[in-house]
Copies of this chain bind each other. A is one copy, B any other.
């Protein structure tokens, strides 16, 4: 699906507001104001507020697969190094798309069924498939141990990263980092998270339980 500049302008405004105040906490009028467009344009372009959210999901969900595939096909690299690449790629993605990941974090908590739930499941399925292939490659090479609960491993990665980023305002206070400028704080989170996740994954993948 292709989107015009005007549509992207609306989607970005909506993404910001949904992340900040939630879907139901954001009115179409809020979006129109933020995007500097007329109220009616949301319905005109997307049909409804709900479908606007779906558009955001499908737009942000698209660009995932490619980069992961390319990581998998790297030559002359151990499976663990590839896992490290994957971790950094995931952190990059979530850090660069913090608005969207706030929305995602909120939406996946809801017990709904519908297009959004399906899109989330698709995203998770795609991610799981890629990671599974990587883990199995490592197992066949004897690098990783057998009997790894891969969905659980994903929960550790996604959950830890998500928790840290979506509630970083709390992390900032609790770690006494309030003096740190926002940019440095972001870099700090990025580095600390990367280091910890790599350490955890190395342990999960190579040590026996």
Residues of A within 8 A of B (CB): 19-25, 102, 105-106, 108-112, 120-121, 124-125, 128, 149, 151-152, 155-156, 158-164, 166-167, 169-171, 173-175, 192-193, 195-196, 199-200, 203-204, 207, 209
How many identical chains are in the complex? 2
Question: How far is the CB of A146 from the nearest CB of chain B, in Å?
Answer: 15
Taking a contact as CB atoms under 8 Å apart, the answer to whether B171 and A155 are in contact is yes
- Residue of chain B at shortest CB distance from A105: B109
Question: How far is the CB of A193 from the nearest CB of chain B, in Å?
Answer: 8
Main secondary structure of the interface of A (DSSP, over half): helix
Bound complex: CA of A28 vs CA of B162, how far in Å? 31
Taking a contact as CB atoms under 8 Å apart, the answer to whether A161 and B159 are in contact is yes
Bound complex: CA of A155 vs CA of B21, how far in Å? 23
Taking a contact as CB atoms under 8 Å apart, the answer to whether A171 and B192 are in contact is no
Q: Which residues of B contact A196 (CB under 8 A)?
A: 149, 152, 156
Contacts A/B (CB < 8 Å), 8 sampled: A22-B22, A22-B110, A23-B25, A156-B159, A163-B163, A199-B204, A200-B200, A200-B204
Given contacts A111-B20, A203-B203, contact A163 B155 (CB under 8 A): yes
Taking a contact as CB atoms under 8 Å apart, the answer to whether B120 and A170 are in contact is yes
- Residue of chain B at shortest CB distance from A158: B163
Given contacts A24-B24, A163-B162, contact A192 B109 (CB under 8 A): no
Bound complex: CA of A86 vs CA of B131, how far in Å? 31
